[in-house]
Amino acid sequence: MTTHVKVIAVLFIVFGAMSALVALLAPLGLGVLATLVGRSGDQDAAVGATVLGLAGVLITVIAGVKAVLNLVTGWGLLKLKPWARIAGIVMAALNLLSFPLGTAFGVYALVILFRKDTEALFAKQADRPSSASTPA
């Protein structure tokens, strides 16, 4: 089961990196598009350019938050942190909305993270004392 959890962790990190890329490129692409629309000379061009600019900001914020959450979840799953299983379940459910790759990944992650042996793996890790909390 550890192998499946590590695969899920790496996939969360990959999805996080892809979301970060979207967060970086969305303002550029929509900014260029807004500039082209603004220069068209149409009466409603200013409204269109404004809407495109706001869409760029919204996409950047959403993709940035999703990137951070996916990256943190992936890191936690790699380290078998007890909180990471719950975070993985929540993030897998949110990834179901990203059809088709996110949906396939979300189903796979949910199936693995809801298994009893996966739950036991994270419970065993939670019972293990950390080296930072042991007295010197």
pTM: 0.85
**Confidence band of 63 (pLDDT split at 50, 70, 90):** very high
DSSP string for 19-80: HHHHHHHHHHHHHHHHHHHHTT--TTHHHHHHHHHHHHHHHHHHHHHHHHHHHHHHHHHHTT
Residue of 93, 111, 25, 114 whose CA lies nearest to 64: 25
Domain boundaries, the chain: 2-124
Please give the pLDDT value at position 136.
Answer: 46
Please give the pLDDT value at position 135.
Answer: 52
Higher-scoring residue by pLDDT: 131, 38: 38
Q: How far apart are CA 57 and CA 27, in angstroms?
A: 7
Least confident segment among 33-42, 75-84, 98-107: 33-42
Please give the pLDDT value at position 114.
Answer: 96
Residue 31 has pLDDT above 60, yes or no: yes
Residue 111: its H or E element = helix 101-113
Q: How far apart are CA 101 and CA 92, in angstroms?
A: 12
Average pLDDT, the chain: 91
Please give the pLDDT value at position 91.
Answer: 97
